[in-house]
C-alpha cells in the first residue's frame, strides 16, 4: 500500500466517492483490491465470488448504458423533489457518476457462481457470500488512496450483463464498483450515533 493506514482510519474515513478521475490505475493496485476481496469469508467457505475488472472502453460504455437505463428512472423522483440539501448533493454525485461512468478507469463487477442459472430474486440467494469481499475491497481502496462507491442499478438486467461481460450463465452479477482516483477529498463519514442504533439484549 502507498501509506500506513490503520483499519480504524480506513473504516471511519471511507466515504462513497462517485466523482472519479479518468487517470489510469496501475494494474497491480487493481489486483491488490481483488486479492483483499478474496480473503473475505463466504458461506460454508464456498469461495464462489468471482470478479471482473473492466478497463476496455467499449465494455465500460455498455455497462454505463445499462446503468443509465435503470438508474435514471430510479432517481428521477428524488431529483425532482430532494428531501434535503444533503440528499441533493448525493444525487448530484450519482448523476455525475451516471454521466461519466464510461470514463472511470476500472469498473469492478462482483459476481457469484451458482451451480445452475438463477433469475429474479434467486440472483441474490448467496449475495451474503459476496458482500464481505466487497467491503474488503472498499477498505483496501481507501487505504490505497482510491475512491469507490458500490452500485447495483447497472446490473438489473442479468442476461444483458452476462452478454456484455461474456459471463457463464451460472454467474449472477451482484455489484458494480467504479474505482479510481477521487476528485474530492477523503474525510470522516457522517453516521447516526451508536446510541440510536444499538441496544443490548432486546429493543425497547
**Sequence-separated (6 or more) residues with CB below 8 Å from residue 143:** 1, 3, 5, 10
pLDDT (tens place) for every residue of the chain, 204 residues total? 455 678 888 888 888 899 999 999 999 999 999 999 999 999 999 999 999 999 999 999 999 999 999 999 989 988 888 889 888 888 999 999 999 999 999 999 999 999 999 989 899 999 999 999 999 999 999 999 999 999 999 999 999 999 999 999 999 999 999 999 999 888 788 889 999 999 999 998
pLDDT on residue 142: 94
pLDDT on residue 22: 97
pLDDT on residue 1: 42
Sheet holding 106-113, edge to edge: 49-54, 106-113, 171-180, 147-148
Domain annotation for the chain: domains and CATH numbers: 17-182 (3.40.109.10)
DSSP state string for the chain: --S---HHHHHHT------B--PPPPHHHHHHHHHHHHTS--GGG---EEEEEE--HHHHHHHHHHHHHHHHHHHHHHHHS-SSHHHHHHHHHHHHHHHHGGGSSEEEEEEEE-SS---GGGGGTTGGGTHHHHHHHHHHHHHTT-EE--B-GGGS-HHHHHHHHT--TTEEEEEEEEEE-BSS---------HHHH--SSS--
pLDDT on residue 185: 87
pTM score: 0.92
Cell, residue 137: 475491497
CA 104-15-121 angle, to 5 degrees, is: 75
pLDDT on residue 157: 96
Using an 8 Å Cβ cutoff, are 62 and 119 in contact?
no
d(CA 123, CA 160): 14
pLDDT on residue 193: 93
Amino acid at each position: 500500500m502507498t501509506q500506513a493506514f490503520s483499519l480504524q482510519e480506513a473504516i471511519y474515513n471511507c466515504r462513497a466517492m462517485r466523482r472519479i478521475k479518468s487517470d489510469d490505475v496501475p494494474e497491480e493496485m487493481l489486483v491488490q483490491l481483488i486479492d483483499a476481496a478474496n480473503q473475505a469469508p463466504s458461506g460454508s467457505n464456498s469461495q464462489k465470488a468471482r470478479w471482473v475488472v473492466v478497463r476496455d472502453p467499449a465494455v465500460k460504455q455498455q455497462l454505463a448504458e445499462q446503468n443509465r437505463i435503470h438508474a435514471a428512472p430510479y432517481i428521477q423522483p428524488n431529483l425532482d423533489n430532494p428531501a434535503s440539501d444533503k440528499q441533493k448533493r448525493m444525487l448530484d454525485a450519482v448523476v455525475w457518476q451516471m454521466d461519466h461512468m464510461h470514463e472511470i478507469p476500472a469498473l469492478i463487477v462482483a459476481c457469484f457462481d451458482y451451480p445452475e442459472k438463477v433469475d429474479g430474486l434467486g440472483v441474490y440467494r448467496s449475495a451474503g457470500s459476496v458482500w464481505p469481499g466487497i467491503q474488503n475491497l472498499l477498505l483496501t481502496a481507501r487505504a490505497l488512496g482510491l475512491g469507490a462507491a458500490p452500485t447495483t442499478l447497472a446490473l438489473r438486467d442479468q442476461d444483458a450483463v452476462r452478454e456484455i461481460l461474456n459471463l457463464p450463465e451460472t454467474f449472477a452479477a451482484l455489484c458494480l464498483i467504479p474505482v479510481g482516483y477521487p476528485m474530492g477529498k477523503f474525510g470522516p463519514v457522517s453516521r447516526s450515533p451508536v446510541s440510536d442504533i444499538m441496544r443490548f439484549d432486546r429493543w425497547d
